Amino acid sequence: MSTEAQQVGRRVFIHTLGCQMNVYDSGKIHAQLQRDGYQSTADPREADLILVNTCSIRERAVDKMHSALGEYRRMKREGQPVVIGIAGCVAQERGEELLARYPDVDLVFGPDGVPHVQRLVAEASTGSRVLDTDFLDLENYPFVADVDPSTHGVSAFVTIQKGCDNKCTFCIVPATRGAEASRPHAEIVAEVRALVDRGVQEITLIGQNVNSYGLKVPGELTFAQLLYAVAEVPGVRRIRYTTSHPRDMGDDVVQAYRDLPALASHLHLPVQSGSNRVLRRMKRFYTRERFLEIVGKLREARPGMLLTTDVIVGFPGETDEDFEATMTLLEEADFVGSFSFKYSPRPGTPALKLEERDPVRPEVASARLTRFQERQRERSLALHRSLEGTEVDDVLVEGPSRHDEGVVCGRTSRHVMVNFPGDIGLVGQIVPVRITRGFTHSCRGERL
C-alpha cells in the first residue's frame, strides 16, 4: 500500500510508557508504519506523527501521559504539522474522554488497534479524528509478525499471548487488554528465528500470564512445551519469560529448569502479598504456603536460582499483621529484588469497593512501602556483596556501560548486572568475570 508517507519519508516518534508489553507493541507499531515509509525519529520536533503509548497500571503513569501530551500539543499549537495519537491502556480505558478533552489529538486506539495501525494512521492523516477501542475476535487473533526494525543488540522480547483471563481485584489489565489469546507457537518460533538471524541471543517471552499459554487452544503447546520449542532454535543461548502467575506454575515448567540449560537461572514471580487474607481479597488464588512450595521446587530443580517479585502494600484492609507477613515472606522466599508499590485504586476494578469500606491511611501505606523497600535494598546489597571475590562464567555482554567509558555491562543467567572494563567488541559474547565489588543493584568486575 503506497501512501503519501512513502513519497515524503515521514517520521514517527513513539513515546512509550509502562511495561514490556507496551515496549513490544511500540516496536510492532514501528515495524508496520515502516511498511508505509515512516522512519523512526528520536526527536519529537522532527516528527510528522507522534504516538504516546500509555500505561494505566497506576495513576502516576496516567499523569505521565498528560504531561507528555502537554508538550507535544504545544509543539502543534506552535505550528508543527504533526498528527498526534494516544495508544495503549489509557486510550483503551478512556478513549472518548481523551478525544473530548484534547481537541488537537487526532487518533486514539487501544492495544487491539496495534495490528491495524497503518489504516488508523492513514485515516487520521486525512484530517478525520479516529477512535478505535474495539476488542478483536480472539479466534485467529492477528498477532503482528513483523520484527521491530529497531531491534538490535543481544536481547529481544517476543510476545506469546495478549490479554488476561484472571481477575485480580486490583488490576486494570483485563479491562484494557481484554481476554487472553495465545499466539500460535509456529509464529513465536518464526519470530525467534528471525531475531536470532539479527544477532539476538537472549529471548524474553512476554505475556500477562505466560503460564496459561495455550491452555484454551486445543492442540496448542503448553507453556512448558513452548520453552522446549524455543530452546531448540539454533543460536538461542538464553531464555527468560515474564510475567508468571504462581497459581499456574506447574511441575512441567519446573522440570524445564532441569532439562534446559538455556533457561535463565532467574525468575520474576509476582507474589503481591505475603498474607493469605490479602491474597484472597486480591483473588490471586494461591496461598503463601503454596507460593513457598513452588519456590522450593524451582530451587531444587535449579540450585542457586534467584527470584524477584512484585509487591503491593496498603491494599484495602491490610492490617499490621498482614504487612508483617509480607515482610517475613521477603526473607523466606529470599527475593533479591522487587518492584513494590502502594495500592493505587484503578477505575472499574473490584478492589475499589474494598477501598471504600476499608482503606489503608496513605501515611501508613507510605511507611510500609518505605520499610519494605529499605529491607529489599539491604538484601539486594547483601546478595551482590556476597559475590565479591567469586568468578561468574556466564556474563552475556549487552553493551557499553551507561556511566563509564571503556566499561561494558552484561547480565549473568541469574540476572546479576555486571559492569567491567572491556571493549565494545565483547557485545554478544558470554564471558567469565571475577566480581570485585557488589552494589545494591549491580556488581563491578574484571574480565578473566
**Residues in touch with ligand SF4 (CB under 6 A):** 164, 166, 168, 171, 173-174, 208-209, 245
Q: Which three cell numbers stand for residue 413?
A: 543467567
**What H or E segment, with its residue span, contains residue 383?**
helix 362-385
The distance of closest approach from Cβ of residue 209 to ligand SF4 in the complex, given in angstroms and rounded to an integer, is 5
> DSSP character for 161?
E
Residue 30 or 245 having the CB closest to ligand SF4: 245
Q: Is residue 326 within 8 Å of 375, Cβ to Cβ?
A: no
Closer CB to ligand SF4, 32 or 272, in the complex:
272
Q: Could you tell me the smallest distance in angstroms from the CB atom of residue 207 to ligand SF4?
A: 9
CB of 302 to ligand SF4, least distance (A): 24
Least distance to ligand SF4, CB of residue 312, Å: 10
- Of the pair 57, 305, the CB lying nearest ligand SF4 is at 57
Contacts of 354 (CB under 8 A, 6+ apart): 169, 281, 315, 316, 317
Those residues with Cβ within 8 angstroms of residue 448's Cβ, 6 or more apart along the chain or in another chain: 391, 431, 432, 433, 434
Amino acid of residue 33: L
CA distance 14 to 43: 10
Q: By C-beta, is 166 or 276 nearer to ligand SF4? A: 166
For residue 105, the minimal CB distance to ligand SF4 (Å) is: 27
Nearest to 307 by CA among 344, 234, 257: 257
Q: Would strands 155-159 and 335-342 be described as parallel, antiparallel, or unpaired?
A: unpaired
Smallest gap from residue 169 Cβ to ligand SF4 (A): 9
Which of residues 5 and 307 has its CB atom nearest to ligand SF4 in the complex?
Answer: 307
Q: How far is the CB of 194 from ligand SF4 (least distance, A)?
A: 27
Cβ-based nearer residue to ligand SF4, 245 or 414: 245
Q: Apex CA 45: angle with CA 39 and CA 47, to 5°? A: 25
User: Using only C-alpha atoms, what is the Rg of the chain?
Assistant: 22
Q: Which is nearer to ligand SF4, 183 or 245 (CB)?
A: 245
Please name the residue that has the C-alpha cell 502494600: 313
Distance of CA 361 to the CA centre of its chain: 30
Min separation Cβ 20 and ligand SF4, Å: 12
Report yes or no: 91 and 133 within 8 Å, Cβ to Cβ: yes
CB of 171 to ligand SF4, least distance (A): 3
| Cβ 418 vs Cβ 441: under 8 Å | no
CB of 2 to ligand SF4, least distance (A): 39
For ligand SF4, the closer CB: 38 or 143: 143
Nearer to ligand SF4, 164 or 426 (CB): 164
Do 333 and 292 touch, CB atoms closer than 8 A?
Answer: yes
Q: Quote the strand ranges of 18-82, DSSP E.
A: 39-40, 49-54
Residue 74: burial class (beta carbons within 10 Å; 0-12, 13-18, 19+): exposed
Q: Between 310 and 334, name the residue whose CB sits nearer to ligand SF4.
A: 310
Ranges of H-type helices in 182-287? 185-197, 223-231, 251-259, 276-282
Residue 75 CB neighbours (<10 A): 15
